[in-house]
Structure 1
């Protein structure tokens, strides 16, 4: 069936949002990669000096420092004490160990990414293999398909009342053919661009009642639900540092060595061996060893002190550190002594808190995606999924000795069981299950432990006998 007028208007509105995001993302990506150009700095440099342009990649350093600490480790249902194996199977079947990292990085860079949930398809290739290529094994049709999408290709429209998506669309090009997918609460529509018009190719009336697209946003605000890039607040400081470094490069070429001056020279003194007049820059940077005028004088000036540029760049680095919470060592500022474990933790406290805040936003996305996935798989909404909990790896810099010492003390004080200590130390669910099996087997084979376990029962019987 053809698109209705309302669907056409909605599709065009979402396409405009995608184009606007792609334009903004192009600039943000340049800052992330350290490839922003001088025109974006507003710095007037002659074309001859463009080679001296120096860019600092502090925005990329900041985003990477956050993204490296965001790792999802499992999901727990309210009536379980371990991560749910079935939900984790869905996660791993879709290659989300890797794909989720890409989504988190995208959200931190551009402010938003998207998670799309669909039905499994036996003809669809499985998750990417560990070697990096596509896995040729067919996907289990009972396993829902979960993919992550970029804001360069996808946009959503939120309900002003529930803040949940009421529509979403993805736009992409395949073999020079423009495609679009329109996601609605009760249908998914696939389209192609033909003769400057979107033509419906297929439609799936799934009757989910919800749009199977979940936004993943960074730093969402009441007035800006689509989030913002983590780099936004340090772009101007990055530009200022780039100006200082560019000026330092020019000053290094022109003033780092003693400058020469010439008095009483003739025009012929500034010609090459073939009689060609040297350009101003060739004459400026070249050396003049002999002059025809016997009264001419050649002298030199002392080299300029360039330490002021270092002070300016260090000042901007300190400002970036204050805005982002990045330790100064992340910005290339060496410290006198290597920090201790406690010093690292204190130094990174703001960074850790930012990652934990991002966890709060991201877990709402992944929990909602898993809820929709279970609904697609089972055909009914599971009320337990409303209380699903997401397990994250600690955002603090791992110090093995410190974590081990803490775990031993908590277990010895009977505050935590051994299994909980394993979880705090970052062991995966599979690793914890293997350790539990090994420990149980070891205890079963140790007669001393068997006697120790039997002692409380024997003592209780003796007390009962005396009392009787």
Structure 2
């Protein structure tokens, strides 16, 4: 017990160190952050004009939209494993996989946990956890997770009041009492031999493995300072719209009494300024006007920032609102997404390894033993590119006609789920059996009508 409490304390300290940075990144993604150093150029009463360009979320969403799992294939199998896909569907992972990918891309790390399902032992539970609540430690030699903890149910001070401690052979549920962690439930001595928590790390590097706290990096990091600069430019535009866009007007030699309404009462300064017609009886008064400010230079600056953001994020510049008079053709547009597609494919490789580890744990919880074949499991992803439906169908049909792929692989390439492929295969088999049965019946009728040795009439 004392050793477990010591491990929990170290993990809590580890999470506390990371939380400020993670919280700031999370606010960046949600678009609730404030521009830094805003008070230098803009007074406090004008901060309501602030505009924040959330290009950070654009970067994350553009990659996450291309990360869709379509199944898991065991070694030696011709098609995706339908039993694993049933567990996937049971846990609503079609939706929740996006939670994992988004947090990993935005915050650098996210987590998935596997546990026993008391309601359905054939479908172990898969939960996704926030890096704001969970942290892990790894073995410095094997890099495997040796311990993990989730801290949640925070009070008004923001301090977590409950925790779940994951160790290789036991799981503990704890609560905080008088500042100390105590067991809330009896520990689960599962003897699994592995921590049932899988981290998803974005932009992993060997250098970061030496750091006991830092794992992963945010995809937003490079674009954040550029987005801030563009946001300040747009904010300045907001202020200029109120002050310099309309021509400034003035009058010399007039008195306050010269500005009166139809009722004979003096007009206020703003009513006078925004009046449609300036006319007065004072022959000594002289009016003048300043030219309006040209806003095109700000547009040029924002476009420059959009191109810079495109360069560091690998996204086409159109993602940041910059369009051209002559839009590219479909082929040209896809060519412009080459770097984005390659980035998404790299994420598929890294995140695919983590999802395979999750499904190995699923098999262990379901079958009660580790599967050696599962070590060579393959995660199947949908195409990260943006081809049209007709292009995909045409390419797959040509591969199938040339014998380069089998029927089931062709269905996977089109993007059909394992369950749909299974149903299609069953229908194909039933149709083949029905056709074969019909052919045998027809042949039998012919033999019965025209016995051996008799002449079969031939139609003219």
Contact 1:58/1:238 (CA < 8 Å) preserved in 2? Answer: yes
Residue 269 and residue 58 in structure 1: after superposition, are their counterparts in 2 closer, same or farther (change >3 A)? farther
Q: Which residue of 2 aligns with 1:355?
A: 344
Q: Which residue of 2 aligns with 1:239?
A: 228
Contact 1:262/1:299 (CA < 8 Å) preserved in 2? Answer: yes
Alignment partner of 1:309: what SS?
helix
Alignment partner of 2:76: what SS?
coil
Contact 1:266/1:292 (CA < 8 Å) preserved in 2? Answer: no
Q: Which residue of 1 aligns with 2:127?
A: 147
Residue 303 and residue 189 in structure 1: after superposition, are their counterparts in 2 closer, same or farther (change >3 A)? same
Deviation at 1:363, TM superposition (A): 1.2
Deviation at 1:11, TM superposition (A): 1.7
Query: Which among 160, 163, 166 is matched to residue 146 of structure 2?
Result: 166
Q: Which residue of 1 aligns with 2:448?
A: none
Q: Which residue of 2 aligns with 1:178?
A: 161
Distance 2:195 2:256 in 1: 77
Q: Which residue of 1 aligns with 2:453?
A: none
Residue 318 and residue 201 in structure 1: after superposition, are their counterparts in 2 closer, same or farther (change >3 A)? same
Residue 368 and residue 347 in structure 1: after superposition, are their counterparts in 2 closer, same or farther (change >3 A)? same
- CA deviation string 1:391-430 (max 9, x = no partner): 0111111411111111121122222223322211111122
Contact 2:81/2:418 (CA < 8 Å) preserved in 1? Answer: no
Deviation at 1:310, TM superposition (A): 0.4
Are 2:38 and 1:54 equivalent residues in the alignment?
Answer: no
- 1:42-441 to 2 correspondences below 5 Å: 44-121=41-118, 139-173=119-153, 178-202=161-185, 203-225=187-209, 226-264=215-253, 289=278, 295-441=284-430
Normalised by the size of structure 2, how large is the TM-score? 0.85
Contact 1:259/1:301 (CA < 8 Å) preserved in 2? Answer: yes
In the alignment, structure 2 segments of 5+ residues that lack a partner are 210-214, 441-460
Deviation at 1:433, TM superposition (A): 2.4
Deviation at 1:332, TM superposition (A): 1.1
Alignment partner of 1:116: what SS?
strand
Deviation at 1:51, TM superposition (A): 2.1
Distance 1:44 1:12 in 2: 45
Contact 1:21/1:151 (CA < 8 Å) preserved in 2? Answer: no
Query: Which among 16, 34, 38 is matched to residue 31 of structure 2?
Result: 34
Question: More displaced, 283-292 or 222-231?
Answer: 283-292
Contact 1:184/1:210 (CA < 8 Å) preserved in 2? Answer: yes
Contact 1:270/1:283 (CA < 8 Å) preserved in 2? Answer: no
Distance 2:37 2:105 in 1: 22
Q: Which residue of 2 aligns with 1:18?
A: 15
Alignment partner of 1:148: what SS?
strand
Distance 1:366 1:92 in 2: 14
Question: More displaced, 71-80 or 417-426?
Answer: 417-426
Distance 1:312 1:216 in 2: 37
Of structures 1 and 2, the larger Rg is shown by: 2
Deviation at 1:216, TM superposition (A): 0.7
Distance 2:285 2:79 in 1: 89
- CA deviation string 1:197-220 (max 9, x = no partner): 111123112222211111011111
Deviation at 1:183, TM superposition (A): 1.0
Contact 2:70/2:416 (CA < 8 Å) preserved in 1? Answer: no
In the alignment, structure 1 segments of 5+ residues that lack a partner are 122-138, 452-468
Contact 2:148/2:197 (CA < 8 Å) preserved in 1? Answer: yes
Normalised by the size of structure 1, how large is the TM-score? 0.83
Contact 1:171/1:180 (CA < 8 Å) preserved in 2? Answer: yes
Residue 107 and residue 270 in structure 1: after superposition, are their counterparts in 2 closer, same or farther (change >3 A)? farther
